[in-house]
Amino acid sequence: MMGASKVPNVRGPELAVARLLSRGALASVVLFGAAVLLMLSGSISPLDAAPGLDLERLPEDLVALRPSALAWLGTGLVLALPIGRLGASIVGFARRGEPRAAIVGAATVLVIAVGVVVGLAGRS
């Protein structure tokens, strides 16, 4: 085939990470799309201010197919994907005998976790 580029043979952890990111991105697009469709079918403008995130009501809102719950779930997925990628990298570094890189990755996760805890504590 003319102009066809060769795709590298990806296996193991790299393939798992690629699948995680591509499927997670697709799932978030589906969630956002469903939220917009539900908003439009309910005469809610996607440009209106969204309700705040209430973690206690989220399961109930998801079961009720409230658009805001789907949008919040999509947002959470978008935020979680890079952290999942980072976790996979930490495991890969540790398995390859690169402790410094694994420690830097773990420290990054710790900083993110502290930020989340401080952010959630500030909401109360």
pLDDT tens digit at each of 124 positions of the chain: 455 555 566 567 778 788 889 999 999 999 999 999 999 998 888 788 878 888 889 999 999 999 999 999 999 999 999 999 999 889 988 998 999 999 999 999 999 999 989 988 887 6
Q: What is residue 14's predicted lDDT score, i.e. its pLDDT?
A: 77
For the four alpha carbons of 57, 39, 120 and 86, in that order, the dihedral sign comes to: positive
pTM (global) more than 0.85? no
